Structure 1
Amino acid sequence: MIRLGLRLAVAGGREALVRLVAIAAAVAVGAGILLATLAGVNATNAQLTRYASLHPVATTGGDADPLWWSTRRDYFHGRQILRVDVAATGPDSPTPIGVPRTPGPGEYYASPALRSLLDAYPADQLADRYAGRDVGTVGPAALPSPDFLLVIVGGRPAEVAALPDARQLTDVAASGPALPDTVVDLILGVVAGGLLFPVLIFIGTATRLGAARREQRFAAMRLVGATPRQISAIAAIEATAAAAVGTALGFALFLAGRGALADIPFTGMPYFPADLSLRPLDALVVALGVPAGAALAAHVSLRRVQISPLGVTRRVTPRPPRGYRLIPLALGLAGLAFAVGRRPNTADGQTAVYLPTLLLVMTGLVVAGPWLTMVGARLMAARARRPGTLIAARRLADNPRAGFRAISGIMLALFVTSTATGVITTIVAERGPAPIGSVEAATLTTVLGEETTSVPGPLLAELRAIPGVRSTTVTRKLENPHYYASVVRCADIPPAYGRCAGGATVAEVPVDFIPFRSSASADRVWTPASVRVEDLAGLPVESIVVGTDGSAAARERARTVLEAAYPTFWVAPNVPGNFEADFANLLRGWRQLADVVIVVSLVLAGCSLAVAVVGGLQERKRPFSLLRLGGAPVGVLRRVVALETAVPMLAVAALATGMGLLAAHLFLKGQMHYALTPPGPSFYALVVAGLAACLGIIAATLPLLERVTGPETARSE
């Protein structure tokens, strides 16, 4: 059987050879993308692991001298700089990962990306924050990404011990907990699933290429005595041979493009090429799973031959799908709705709730697709006024599974895209950085971590002397702070941030004049405070707010001056949104991941669509030829092919987009208590462009119809 199957696969004439090459090429593309997806997940996990290693947990015990360690966040031009202050307490203190020795007082190591910034900008904007001697470069072992900004600063034990979140370590390899929260895990899972589903559909569609033609040949073999087991073996060998060749080519494509993939910032930061690797289990799953899946697809495509070879000749209409196919979709949506107000307290519990339910919704869309296609086809047939429309509708209604198979990849692509984009758009709107050009983006605030009732006059004078600085304001702590966390003299409030009510002398204000989830406004009237103006000087200083003209140079010079004046800061002087700079970077990464999902998924869906349309034409070339001989114009046949693909595709696109935004809304309400912020016009433009490209693919296959439906094709074989 093996020899016969291989002979039929490679020596079955031009048609068999073309089919073999087409299947191998399609599987190569799918396997290459599948390998890149798995490697990307591994690389992302490596990034997150090294990021977690920069937040080690305190360790004690052993004979080693402890190492003092404090991790803080600094900012430059909106980018986060991770600053690690260390101090060895003895010769046996552990050495931080990525550097040859622990830096001493007045020494620091900088990552390559940070060193480029230090060389590119004036010292008063960045380098003066790390007064001392540059003793070397942080190695890749400590960096999540080649573009990561990291500085390891040496100090004295007493100085580092006084810094916020200082801890003693006897083992620097004891990483802290995984930094990404449930949202990150969810996005990665949905992205991986969103790419895997179209890949598998594409491979399955390609494997089924020419299925009807092979059904007839295998049915003839059944009629002359071949058993169902023998037919299954031959079909599996033919499909496995093509898939094995395609899988090997997929590995070659992945290895050839790995270096280029590493440079693409899928998560907001590029990968190290070594991180974009495959685990042995990943390679084994793809190497064995893809050919096995191809063999299974071949077996399923020939199931009518297994039942009865005469059924292939008669082309018996398959049973219509039933309404119970909606159950998985309903269960997935119900799971998301049930989680609203019942979010688990732990990150693992949240992941266990949201990830399976979203994947269940995706599976439910695929399972319900044939039933939805059948219902839509019957509605189209009931309203048909032209022969082409009626033929297309009747064909879809007779075999909705085959009609949906061609567009299932598009459904999943749009669902994943809509879900990811809805989540990202809402989080950006709720927690994103200050808009460029706004008053918020021009405001720099430092919250003092030390108790003091005065700010040195020379410091304020130095800040005001910086070109671009327009105001400096000192706020004071309230004894019982609430939403408005500090107080300030009304005369000191800059006009850009509002004013006091008539007759008030002291106002209650946020520490940076920016109300929570609101914007600065010159028209804002602040609530009067019960503190007397003469008592302000005795209250502790809460913050120093510096208003600038919005230029990056003014902000960074002011930040450098403030860090030098208050070196024990918990969070560096920041612009609203800087505080979550790492989260903002993840947002940008998610947006890029969403773009990757959109592009790759629609490309795969388009390829699946092209393969399905061409395969359908090949399978129906004899019926179409008979219609042409009976007087049907080629234009009518083209309309049939276009309608039976385009109409369900557009309907499914609307459904998938709506389901994706609904799933995003339910997730946001349950996980973050946010209402969905609708995506902007660019999202819908991208969806329309993708669907237009798919319609173009359909149109590109139509000229093939006239060539394969000539009179010679109508002959009986």
Structure 2
Amino acid sequence: MSARPSPATAPTEALRAAPSIPQWARDLRMGAKFAVTGGREGWVRLLLTAVGVGLGVALLLLTTAIPSALAVRHQRDQDRQDYTYGPQRPKAANTLVIGDADTSYHGKDVRGRLVEPEGPRAPIAPGLTGYPAPGDMVVSPALKELLDSGDGRLLRERLPYRIVGTIGESGLIGSHELAYYAGAKNLAPRINGWQTARITEFGPQQPARAESPDPVLLLLVLVVFVVLLMPVAVFIAAAVRFGGERRDRRLAALRLVGSDSHMTRRIAAGEALAGSLVGLVFGTVFFLLGRQLAGSVEVMDVSVFPSYLNPAPALAALVAVAVPAAAVLVTLFALRGVVIEPLGVVRTARPRRRRLWWRLLLPLGGLAMLAPMIGQGRTNGSFNEYLVIGGVLLLLVGVTALLPWVVESVVARLGNGGVAWQLAVRRLQLSSGSAARMVNGIAVAVAGAIAMQMLLAGVQDDYTKSTGQDTERVQMQVSLPRGVPLIPAAEKFTTTRGVRKVTALGTAELADRTWQRGKEPNAATQLTVGTCASLREVARLPSCRDGDVFVSTGGDTDGDAVKLARPGRVLHLDTSNGPDAGRDAVWTVPARLKQARTITGPIGDTSGGLLLTPAAADAQVNRTLSGSVYLGVDDSVPDAHEYVRNTAAAVDPLANAALWASTERSTQFTSIRTGLFVGAVCVLALIGASLLVSQLEQLRERRRLLSALVAFGTRRRTLSLSVLWQTAIPIALGLLLSSAVGLTLGVVLLKMVGATVSVDWPSVLSMTGVGAGVVLAVTLLSLPPLLRLMRPEGLRTE
């Protein structure tokens, strides 16, 4: 029979023996039991932890659902595609003529389609059960709401149709999309292959060609996801440590009844595990609530339906496993330097100074992972995604590791001051770790946002190109469908409110023979029709009166103009599209021609050719003209752009009114930037909510101390100011540290893509200000609970 170990050697053997899996499970289960059966204090602690973890889990689930939502939006947009660039189809029982009548209202796009079914088997657009009759329309719910409101008065004038139904969810890409289908007639003569077409089905007619991905855009996507998810992970890690001081006192009691130090740590991990599991439930509920709320909000003109937000099962399972596992690991890591004895916890004494060397290894390791890709740019293939993710993660984790050391080092050197200042400084000196944990998430978010802003600012010029449009000369352009009378249309714009200048030009193509598919003419030139004032916008004219014809030379594309402009010569108009499609329309060069010199036109080109005043253009010319009206608009007139669009719709429902811009940006780059802003809004909301929960938890733990101070005569104003200082000092240090790390990461990323290194100081200051603003708002919201806690009755105990 073996001898039983003596009481003195039993703890040593227990420390040395590796716990078995059943022992781990038993200790974790015991800790979870303590969490849910610990009375009122235990329930409050569990609730705070669950809410903090739940907010993080909800955002994680939302993030995992974003790829699905984007895919569904893209698929919905593809399913309703109605453009055909192939050969024109003949009318049949299964054809539909559809015209693009898109517009814009107060900066929001309105998707419009004119439809005319030509047979009983015409394809039905997604979201519709049938087509409206001419003069009627079916609209999206958001458009119906807008038209019924006072804000939609001008848009209602633009859409003079009777609403007879709404578009279903399957025909929309978002809950706030403005869209309509209006019944029309006699659309077939207006088929041109790009704005109006005859189709037999909806959806892409040809599979999209796979384009090689842009390495810089892929890098942007990777960094955006890391930057948005990292603060969430930090908040979850902080939430599982709520109630740390009270928990340590309970663990000391466990040591008193016989548990060893390792067992107490596992029991503490079990409490955190219980909180994280309840947090998963809370997070699921928060996510479902947020999922429904997502259908009623719009951020950066992006909206979704709740059904779009379905997390991928594998990613959702990963969250369900990773969060409890992280709760256990974080708790064990937090207790690694805490000595829990039967009569107390060593943490209540002055803590040992934190070491700096291992904290510096994290950001240095991140820089080492990113360094091999410096100078790679977009010409040397894709960036290594593992090195990118790992490097950015280590740099951002470095913020969370360095901040406690920075806070501890600074507050240890803070001098004397007022009573509020001394209370705050002393509290920070005793528990600098708790203060640093509270602002870790803000610091990480600001560091990532600064780096992303620098990267976006550094590469945006690569995805922005000049349009050649002179916005000082023209502010809006209205493109008229072929065959719309140009001069009467221009006259309507001269009486439109807010329009100060009108230049109307119609263009067509002339050639030496008929335009036939596969048999191009030998010589061709452009024909331009306009009043004398309008023609002077594209050429220098010697003199002009209605009926004159000019040959304009000196431009980029006037080589055949002189050759074709011979008096009496019969030239052929391009009728490949429009009401005269397939017919041979001709125009005879008049006997008298005047010479003109080409100048830069409204759209920035120098196209020469034949210039005709209205009296020199016969009916055949007018039927083939594609007209454009260039407008100078007085932006000081309220809703001037909307009045122009209303006039354009009155001229012709298919007229397209567009604002001019000197530059245009890549849609992919814009989508990534929009996604970053949408994600940043969600992360900031989580930051604010989690900070408020953390602040309330810390106030709850200090309730008795606050009550004692009030009982001894401390003014409430002094205590409130001390709480403000306790928040302001760590956040100031955190923002300084995050700015330094964010600038460093931004510089490295810019060097990786080969962009010029420059600091976008307005963005840096704005991101820092947003972070400080969130903390200030949370502090103000925590003042009412603080005032309720500062009562002498808080000293009562049982």
TM class, shorter-length: 0.5 to 0.7
Task: Calculate percent identity across the aligned residue pairs.
Answer: 25
Q: How far apart are the structure 2 equivalents of 1:557 and 1:668?
A: 45
Q: Is the Cα–Cα contact under 8 Å of residues 416 and 597 in structure 1 kept in the other structure?
A: no
Deviation of 1:71 after TM superposition, in Å, equals 8.9
Structure 1, 79-88 or 364-373: larger mean CA deviation? 79-88
Does 1:650 find its partner at 2:696?
no
Q: How far apart are the structure 1 equivalents of 2:246 and 2:716?
A: 23
Q: Is the Cα–Cα contact under 8 Å of residues 93 and 119 in structure 2 kept in the other structure?
A: yes
Secondary structure at 2:177 match in 1: coil
CA gap 1:384/1:320 in 2 versus in 1, 3 angstroms = same
Unaligned ranges ≥5, structure 1:
433-437, 481-485, 493-504, 516-528
Deviation of 1:407 after TM superposition, in Å, equals 1.7
Q: Which of 538, 543, 546 is the matching residue for 1:488? A: 538
Q: Is the Cα–Cα contact under 8 Å of residues 207 and 298 in structure 1 kept in the other structure?
A: yes
Q: How far apart are the structure 1 equivalents of 2:259 and 2:84?
A: 71
CA gap 1:655/1:425 in 2 versus in 1, 3 angstroms = same
Q: Which of 45, 48, 52 is the matching residue for 1:19? A: 45
Aligned to 1:126: 158
Does 1:457 find its partner at 2:541?
no
Q: Which of 194, 214, 222 is the matching residue for 1:163? A: 194
CA gap 1:207/1:686 in 2 versus in 1, 3 angstroms = closer
Aligned to 2:592: none
Q: Is the Cα–Cα contact under 8 Å of residues 399 and 741 in structure 2 kept in the other structure?
A: no
Query: Partner letter of residue 488 of structure 2?
Result: P
Aligned to 2:104: 76
Query: Partner letter of residue 297 of structure 1?
Result: V
Query: Partner letter of residue 244 of structure 2?
Result: A
Aligned to 2:439: 407
Query: Partner letter of residue 556 of structure 1?
Result: R
Q: How far apart are the structure 2 equivalents of 1:581 and 1:221?
A: 62
Does 1:263 find its partner at 2:269?
no
1:436-447 alignment runs, 5 A limit: 443-446=475-478
Aligned to 2:697: 611
Secondary structure at 1:472 match in 2: strand
Q: Is the Cα–Cα contact under 8 Å of residues 668 and 674 in structure 1 kept in the other structure?
A: yes
1:227-266 alignment runs, 5 A limit: 230-256=263-289, 258-266=291-299
Deviation of 1:409 after TM superposition, in Å, equals 1.5
CA gap 1:6/1:370 in 2 versus in 1, 3 angstroms = closer
Q: Is the Cα–Cα contact under 8 Å of residues 204 and 293 in structure 1 kept in the other structure?
A: yes
Name the structure with the higher helix share.
Answer: 1
CA gap 1:360/1:35 in 2 versus in 1, 3 angstroms = same
CA gap 1:549/1:637 in 2 versus in 1, 3 angstroms = closer
1:203-352 alignment runs, 5 A limit: 203-215=236-248, 217-218=250-251, 221=254, 226=259, 230-256=263-289, 258-304=291-337, 312-313=345-346, 317=351, 320-323=354-357, 325-326=359-360, 328-329=362-363, 342-344=376-378, 349=382
Q: Is the Cα–Cα contact under 8 Å of residues 446 and 768 in structure 2 kept in the other structure?
A: no
Q: Is the Cα–Cα contact under 8 Å of residues 423 and 668 in structure 1 kept in the other structure?
A: yes
Q: Is the Cα–Cα contact under 8 Å of residues 444 and 575 in structure 1 kept in the other structure?
A: yes
Does 1:141 find its partner at 2:166?
no
Q: Is the Cα–Cα contact under 8 Å of residues 691 and 775 in structure 2 kept in the other structure?
A: no
Unaligned ranges ≥5, structure 2:
1-25, 87-91, 465-469, 508-523, 527-535, 543-595, 618-624
Q: Is the Cα–Cα contact under 8 Å of residues 125 and 202 in structure 2 kept in the other structure?
A: no
Deviation of 1:556 after TM superposition, in Å, equals 0.8
Q: Is the Cα–Cα contact under 8 Å of residues 98 and 140 in structure 1 kept in the other structure?
A: yes
Q: How far apart are the structure 1 equivalents of 2:113 and 2:685?
A: 39
Secondary structure at 1:410 match in 2: helix
Q: How far apart are the structure 2 equivalents of 1:543 and 1:667?
A: 45
* Bigger Rg, structure 1 or 2: 2
CA gap 1:188/1:136 in 2 versus in 1, 3 angstroms = farther
Structure 1, 101-110 or 688-697: larger mean CA deviation? 101-110
Q: Is the Cα–Cα contact under 8 Å of residues 299 and 678 in structure 2 kept in the other structure?
A: yes
RMSD of aligned residue pairs (Cα, Å):
6.3
Query: Partner letter of residue 494 of structure 2?
Result: R
Q: How far apart are the structure 2 equivalents of 1:204 and 1:636?
A: 32
Q: Is the Cα–Cα contact under 8 Å of residues 109 and 152 in structure 1 kept in the other structure?
A: yes
TM-score normalized with structure 1 length = 0.67
Deviation of 1:265 after TM superposition, in Å, equals 0.9
Query: Partner letter of residue 559 of structure 1?
Result: A
Deviation of 1:206 after TM superposition, in Å, equals 3.1
CA gap 1:490/1:178 in 2 versus in 1, 3 angstroms = same
CA gap 1:65/1:32 in 2 versus in 1, 3 angstroms = same
Q: Is the Cα–Cα contact under 8 Å of residues 487 and 506 in structure 1 kept in the other structure?
A: no
1:624-703 alignment runs, 5 A limit: 646-657=728-739, 659-660=741-742, 670=753, 676=760, 678-679=762-763, 686-696=770-780
1:27-54: CA deviation from partner (whole Å, max 9, x where unpaired): 3444444445545664344334423444
Deviation of 1:94 after TM superposition, in Å, equals 5.8
Q: Is the Cα–Cα contact under 8 Å of residues 476 and 543 in structure 1 kept in the other structure?
A: yes
Q: Which of 378, 400, 403 is the matching residue for 2:409? A: 378
Aligned to 1:471: 501
Q: How far apart are the structure 2 equivalents of 1:579 and 1:340?
A: 29
Q: Is the Cα–Cα contact under 8 Å of residues 474 and 630 in structure 2 kept in the other structure?
A: no
Aligned to 2:72: 46
CA gap 1:110/1:252 in 2 versus in 1, 3 angstroms = closer
Aligned to 1:557: 646
Query: Partner letter of residue 405 of structure 1?
Result: R
Q: Is the Cα–Cα contact under 8 Å of residues 83 and 197 in structure 2 kept in the other structure?
A: no
1:454-511: CA deviation from partner (whole Å, max 9, x where unpaired): 984333334334454332225799999xxxxx9624699xxxxxxxxxxxx9674463
Secondary structure at 2:102 match in 1: strand
Query: Partner letter of residue 163 of structure 1?
Result: W
Deviation of 1:411 after TM superposition, in Å, equals 0.9
Q: Is the Cα–Cα contact under 8 Å of residues 375 and 397 in structure 1 kept in the other structure?
A: no
Aligned to 1:502: none
Q: Is the Cα–Cα contact under 8 Å of residues 125 and 560 in structure 1 kept in the other structure?
A: no
Query: Partner letter of residue 297 of structure 2?
Result: I
Q: How far apart are the structure 2 equivalents of 1:71 and 1:339?
A: 49
Q: Is the Cα–Cα contact under 8 Å of residues 326 and 364 in structure 1 kept in the other structure?
A: no
Deviation of 1:414 after TM superposition, in Å, equals 2.9
Q: Which of 632, 635, 649 is the matching residue for 1:547? A: 632
Q: How far apart are the structure 1 equivalents of 2:197 and 2:693?
A: 55
CA gap 1:251/1:639 in 2 versus in 1, 3 angstroms = same
1:388-441: CA deviation from partner (whole Å, max 9, x where unpaired): 989988997898655522320221233355566778899999999xxxxx9769
Q: How far apart are the structure 1 equivalents of 2:190 and 2:750?
A: 43
Query: Partner letter of residue 98 of structure 1?
Result: G
Q: Is the Cα–Cα contact under 8 Å of residues 563 and 573 in structure 1 kept in the other structure?
A: no
Q: Is the Cα–Cα contact under 8 Å of residues 512 and 545 in structure 1 kept in the other structure?
A: no
Q: How far apart are the structure 1 equivalents of 2:608 and 2:204?
A: 50
Q: How far apart are the structure 2 equivalents of 1:594 and 1:581?
A: 21
Q: Is the Cα–Cα contact under 8 Å of residues 194 and 413 in structure 1 kept in the other structure?
A: yes
Q: How far apart are the structure 2 equivalents of 1:410 and 1:312?
A: 30
Aligned to 1:602: 688
Secondary structure at 1:406 match in 2: helix
Q: How far apart are the structure 1 equivalents of 2:724 and 2:718?
A: 10
Deviation of 1:546 after TM superposition, in Å, equals 1.8
